Amino acid sequence: MTQVISTHEVGKRYGHKWALRDCTLSVPEGKVVGLVGPNGAGKSTLLHLAVGLLTPSAGTIDVLGASPTEGSKQLSKVGFVAQDAPVYAGLSVAQHLRMGAYLNATWDHRFAESRVGQLDLDPRQRAGSLSGGQRAQLALTIAVAKRPELLILDEPVASMDPLARREFLQSLMEIVAHGGVSVLLSSHLIGDLERVCDYLIILARSRVQLAGEVTDLLATHWRLSGPRRDPSSLAADQVVIEESHTDKQTTLLVRTEQAVLDPTWTIKPVTLDDLVLAYLSNPPRPERPALGAGQSSRRPDLGVVR
Amino acid sequence: MIEFQLDEGSGVATYLQLVQQVHQALRVGILEPGDQLPTAQQVVAKLAINPNTVFKAYRDLEREGLVRARPGQGTFVVGTPPRNDPTAQARFLGSMTAWVSEARSAGLDPDDMEAIYRTAIRNCFSVGVA
């Protein structure tokens, strides 16, 4: 699988404090990839490194086969909408589009104008008086009108009301359906990610806790409950992600590529929400093998990217 | 043309919900051979879901022989799902009833039997999954 982003032990330090450290991951091409993790996990830092707004203090990052700070040609291949969708409050919608046309080597003005029409934005209106949802839509329009190969969105819908959020994601999915662009977006809203993403990366403490196709992740994780027992007695292919015990009962969240055949377990599928919470609240243990344990991985806590 | 709905609390994968809604529409005659399914563009614009989810659902339906994609035109219904054979259903109800009475005389209660049934289903249908 071709990668649009690959990092190797990349890190960013501010003074003595590392915002991101030893982060190795890859983002596959042609997908909508969700990046989740707690606040402070380094998500925004990673996205800023990918668009060249920051330079790494350690390690390497490669975006579309080049360094993110390579030059203007590289910049034209990546579209970025920063957190809270910053726009120029004093400029009108039409002036934003003119600026986009002026600043970008490639610019699809027909697309930009038709999107503004579809969104019912008044071209003369100042961006400062737009609603949060409209502002984000304008920022998305500009990021997409430059026809990037990779679109990076940092918590694009975090501060929107439910309706604006839905409309924004509808716009984004229409753009994806049109083809030709890979998307990487960070969000805390797992429900949204479940709808729009086909690939998920869970990042915590700078490390990739899990990465994979959403359908594969959901098909390989199960909640088991049954009489109390020692998790080490499980079949070898069942990896315990989360466990809780009462004096009588054991409840586990396991990862396995095989069917669970033991009839003493009650087996339930997990939601993406359960899955993300289980990985975030249970730090990886060294003995936990990687997803698809047959394949070798230097990092035991790293999901194998297919 | 049909319009898809999503039930987010159902726990059923999104692409499967789309497949099931087409099945249901075919069963009750809302969709007939020759009818067009919404384009991926239309579905994602309404439901805000990943277009690959729609493609996956349509590929599954195509594999079942129910729809066919015509390049540049869209996806069209070409078949209807086969009806379940009533005599086969009667036969399996018979053998299942025999199995249940045997299990009961062996001391199993309905919950035990359901657990065994679910395990068997998983056992048979998990092949090739994941």
B91-100: pLDDT as tens digits: 999 999 999 9
Contacts of B41 in chain A (CB under 8 A): 174, 177-178
A41-95: pLDDT as tens digits: 889 999 999 999 999 999 999 999 999 988 888 888 999 999 888 899 999 999 9
Average pLDDT, chain B: 88
A13-50: pLDDT as tens digits: 999 999 998 899 999 999 999 999 998 888 999 999 99
The ranges assigned to domains in chain B are 8-77, 86-125
The ranges assigned to domains in chain A are 3-213, 220-281
Evaluate if residue A300 carries a pLDDT over 60: no
Q: Which CATH class is domain A3-213?
A: alpha beta
Evaluate if residue A305 carries a pLDDT over 70: no
A166-186: pLDDT as tens digits: 999 999 999 999 888 999 999
Give me the amino acid identity at A283.
P
A197 touches B: beta carbon within 8 Å: yes
Task: Give the residue, A282 or B63, on which the prediction is more confident.
Answer: B63
Mean pLDDT value of segment B104-127: 85
Residue-level pLDDT at A116? 94
Evaluate if residue A289 carries a pLDDT over 80: no
Residue-level pLDDT at A286? 52
Q: Kindly determine whether residue B14 and residue A195, on different chains, have CB atoms separated by under 8 Å.
A: yes
User: Mean pLDDT: which of A115-124, A280-289, B25-34 is highest?
Assistant: A115-124
CATH no. for B8-77: 1.10.10.10
Count CB-CB contacts under 10 A for residue B78. 15
B121 touches A: beta carbon within 8 Å: no
Give me the amino acid identity at A21.
R
Residue-level pLDDT at B128? 44
The ipTM value here is 0.75
Q: How far apart, in whole angstroms, are the C-alpha atoms of residue B121 and residue A283? A: 34
Tell me the nearest-neighbour CA distance from B108 into chain A, angstroms: 13
Quick one: pLDDT band at residue A303, thresholds 50, 70, 90? Answer: very low
A147 touches B: beta carbon within 8 Å: no
A193 touches B: beta carbon within 8 Å: no
Could you report how far apart the first and last alpha carbons of chain B are, in Å?
A: 33
Mean pLDDT value of segment A138-155: 95
Q: Is there a contact between A188 and A265 (Cβ–Cβ < 8 Å)?
A: no
Residue-level pLDDT at B27? 83
Residue-level pLDDT at A292? 41
Q: Kindly determine whether residue A176 and residue B51, on different chains, have CB atoms separated by under 8 Å.
A: yes
Mean pLDDT value of segment B48-66: 93
B63, HSE (Cβ side, Cα atoms, 13 Å): 7
Query: How many residues does the structure list for chain B?
Result: 130
Evaluate if residue A266 carries a pLDDT over 90: no
Mean pLDDT value of segment A184-198: 91
Instruction: Report the percent of chain A where pLDDT is more than 70.
Output: 92
Give me the amino acid identity at A184.
L
Query: How many residues does the structure list for chain A?
Result: 306
Residue-level pLDDT at B88? 82
Residue-level pLDDT at A304? 43
Evaluate if residue A299 carries a pLDDT over 80: no
Task: Give the residue, A181 or B84, on which the prediction is more confident.
Answer: A181
SS3 for chain B is CCCCCCCHHHCCCHHHHHHHHHHHHHHCCCCCCCCECCCHHHHHHHHCCCHHHHHHHHHHHHHCCCEEEECCCEEEECCCCCCCCHHHHHHHHHHHHHHHHHHHHCCCCHHHHHHHHHHHHHHHHCCCCC
- Partnered with residue A227 across adjacent β-strands are A249
Mean pLDDT value of segment A179-197: 91
Q: How many CB pairs under 8 A join A and B?
A: 68
Evaluate if residue A6 carries a pLDDT over 60: yes
Residue-level pLDDT at B126? 64
Evaluate if residue A279 carries a pLDDT over 60: yes
A236 touches B: beta carbon within 8 Å: no
Which residue has tokens 């960070």? A186
